[in-house]
Amino acid sequence: MSNAILITGSNGQLGTVLRTSLQQKYGKDKVIASDLRPSPNYDGIFETLDATNEEDLATIIKKYGIKEIYHLAAILSANGEKNPLASWNVNMMAFLNVLEASRLNGVEKIFYPSSIAVFGESAALENTPNDTFLDPLTAYGISKSAGEMWANYYFHKYDLDVRSLRYPGVIGYQSIPGGGTTDYAVEIYHSAVKEEAFNCFLKEDETLPMIFMEDAIRATIELMEAPREKIKIRTSYNLAGASFSPKEVAASIKEIYPRFEIIYAPDHRQEIAAKWPNSIDDSAARNDWGWQAEYDLKKMTATMIEKLRR
């Protein structure tokens, strides 16, 4: 087989949707999904893989003639704070392993997911610029910003075509997020369609940058398919969808479920969210490779509820 695509962390919130999107685009026989544990109901080629294992990764790359890797395996922000050094080790060693194995085995293109978690106290809270000084305050954010530096290094030193997006909180109906600070924005819709009150672990006015899954997946594929010369930023591109607070998403749900109830009980994740921007400037992505979000909060809510009701 040749020109195959490998996805690490493919059982995650993004991975479970991306692997199907890539199958639809390139054919089932071109997509190798992988994760630490099997994915019983996945209809495609699957390999169990610990992305920090150099030998196993190299074996899979050679076995399938992998030419592109979407490296999604990571420990997210909230889980990362429970064990910061383990989070650093997994996130860093997995990505460095992917970079080295790719360089040594002829992989041509790599997608690296960064996050708005790379921004810290130096970042403007509104319309955070792409070239902001990064001083993240979570182990996850530190590992993601360091990963951006390594992506840039491998591009300049080895001419490895690594491309990256700083995802906001991703909202989708197809999968359940795990261990993130923005997970409330998915869970709230599940509560709404079950007509249950929702306990929100963030403050009502904690505005965060978010993006609908369809927009996030399309941005990822558009970035990877853009002509190489259009990619001018080799650390990571800011990506914006729609910014909103728990109060605003609850209000958009109440337009469909008037009796919907939300109870605010901020926990440790509020401290993480408070350090992140409220909105992101993604003009570099729009100017360089034509990015344009399609889902605002109203369309996101309508779609989430329509799909989850099924």
Query: Where along the sequence are the contacts to ligand VAH (CB under 6 A)?
Result: 76-77, 115-117, 140, 167-169, 177, 180-182
Question: How far apart, in whole angstroms, are the C-alpha atoms of residue 57 and residue 63?
Answer: 10
Closer residue to ligand VAH, CB minimum distance, 45 or 180: 180
Question: Considering the complex, what minimum distance in angstroms separates the CB of residue 182 from ligand VAH?
Answer: 4
Question: How far apart, in whole angstroms, are the C-alpha atoms of residue 42 and residue 40?
Answer: 6
The helix/strand/coil state of 115 is strand
Query: DSSP readout, 41-80?
Result: T--SEEEE--TT-HHHHHHHHHHHTEEEEEE-----HHHH
Catalytic residue among 64, 70, 112, 140: 140
Question: How far apart, in whole angstroms, are the C-alpha atoms of residue 217 and residue 223?
Answer: 10
Q: How far is CA 281 from CA 30, 96, 123, in A?
A: 34, 28, 11
Question: Considering the complex, what minimum distance in angstroms separates the CB of residue 246 from ligand VAH?
Answer: 14
| Residue whose tokens read 């996130």 | 91
Active-site residue 264, yes or no? no
φ and ψ of 302, to 5 deg = -60, -45
Closer residue to ligand VAH, CB minimum distance, 76 or 134: 76
Question: Considering the complex, what minimum distance in angstroms separates the CB of residue 267 from ligand VAH?
Answer: 14
Question: Considering the complex, what minimum distance in angstroms separates the CB of residue 138 from ligand VAH?
Answer: 8
Which position's Cβ is nearest ligand VAH? 180
Closer residue to ligand VAH, CB minimum distance, 66 or 240: 240
Closer residue to ligand VAH, CB minimum distance, 76 or 90: 76
Q: Which residues are catalytic?
A: 140
